[in-house]
Amino acid sequence: MKTNEHRNEESEQAPPKKRGFFLPVFMLCLIAVAVTLYVKRDEWKIDEIITGSSEVEATPTPDPIKYEVLKKQLADERLLLRKRYLAAKTTQEQDAVISDTSALLEHTMPELMRCWLGHPWDFNGTATVPGEGKIACGYFVSTIMRDTGFGVKRIKLAQQPSQRIIKTFVPRKKMWIKAGMPYDKYADKLQSDYDGINIVGLDKHVAFVVIKNGKLHFIHSGGIQRLVVDELRPDAYALRVSNYRVIGNISKNRDLLLKWILDQPFPTAK
């Protein structure tokens, strides 16, 4: 019969267990994980996780200098377009001027709008210059329209309901009014049929919708950030949640473009 002393001696003299197989497998697993992390470092944002930070796009700064330059350039271009239109001898020549006018506004108006990006919103804001004071949604729209060269009464226009603001430029029969339409279906329709510059009226808001190269830009003053912002389709919260939506295109409207070329007034709709 073995005593406890003998058992202890056998335990002390037992050969160590072999561990040679476990260590290479463990090292191979570590290497595989390291390679995967390296390959996926951009997709998984590994650097941001390690440093605890990410690149956050800075809030744009209003640009009053560029704004004034664009206004002057646009005014000069309009004078040239007016001379071309008045000198045109055929319908084809007139149509060419109208087409060039549409292209000019679709290029320049969004640039004017973006000079305001980062400008603070206020319900009673009436700013006239990017970076000075605050601006409400209606005043943002009316100021852009005035500074583009549309002959409007800025203050009176800004204080109107959104549908009346749109009606100042687009007749009722050319507006599209919908209520209760799911957002994705509505946005699909805009991207399909409303290329160019549009004014959109919502439940309690008015803004620009710019459709260019198939992309939807919702440019307005207010929203969650309480700033002038340029939001793409997924981020356009105010456009998404509104039940009522009315929209009118201003850059494909021949009658409107001709009035702009000839510097005719746009009385505020009643």
Name the percent of the chain lying above pLDDT 90.
78
User: Residue 239 belongs to what H/E stretch?
Assistant: helix 237-241
| Architecture label for domain 64-261 | Alpha-Beta Complex (3.90)
pLDDT digits (tens, 9 = 90+) for 131-190: 999 999 999 999 999 999 999 999 999 999 999 999 999 999 999 999 999 999 999 999
Nearest alpha-carbon partner for 255 in 152, 180, 150 = 150
* Sequential DSSP letters for 198-210: EEEE-SS-EEEEE
- The amino acid occupying position 3 is T
What is this structure's pTM?
0.79
User: Measured between alpha carbons, how far is 203 from 242 in angstroms, rounded to an integer?
Assistant: 6
Least confident residue range of 4-18, 78-92, 207-221: 4-18
The residue that leads in pLDDT, 68 or 15, is: 68
Q: Please report the pLDDT score of residue 239 as a whole number.
A: 98
Nearest alpha-carbon partner for 199 in 212, 186, 210 = 210
* Sequential DSSP letters for 122-179: -TT-B--STTSS-B-HHHHHHHHHHHHT-B--HHHHHTS-HHHHHHTTS-GGG-EEEE
User: Measured between alpha carbons, how far is 125 from 222 in angstroms, rounded to an integer?
Assistant: 11
pLDDT digits (tens, 9 = 90+) for 239-248: 999 999 999 9
Q: Which residue has the tokens 């309480």?
A: 226
